[in-house]
Amino acid sequence: MSSPIRSQDKGISRGSFNHNRHDKMREVRERHRDDKLLMNREKIGDLQDVDDYQRKYEEEARKFEIDLERLINDEEELEKERQETRAAEEKASFEEEELEEYLRMEQQELEEMISQMDLGS
């Protein structure tokens, strides 16, 4: 009891059902592909951000390294100057003591000469 019209309707509905199913599958594939592309773009962006941060921190580390080396050199120069100053002060102190000793001896000689002159007169 099936009429030829009804069987044609079923064929059309099956065809349109298959067509809709293929369209939905295509949409899902396209959405999946778009999501995958978006994730890849985000991943690339994240990697670039990481590279940028790493470059930035490496540059700052180089600056600190340069500053550290400069500070070490400055410290060494200051220590050398301190040692030279200390040596110069010790030398000056020694020379001053020698001079004071010489002056005392000269003073004593003068006093002896004066006392001999007073005695002789």
Its pTM stands at 0.41
Q: How many C-beta atoms lie closer than 10 Å to residue 13's C-beta?
A: 10
- 10 token code pair: 């079923």
Site of tokens 């994240």: 46
3-state secondary structure 11-73: HHHHHHHHHHHHHHHHHHHHHHHHHHHHHHHHHHHHHHHHHHHHHHHHHHHHHHHHHHHHHHH
pLDDT digits (tens, 9 = 90+) for 3-52: 555 555 555 566 676 778 888 899 999 999 999 999 988 988 888 988 99
Grade residue 107 by pLDDT with cuts at 50, 70 and 90.
Answer: very high
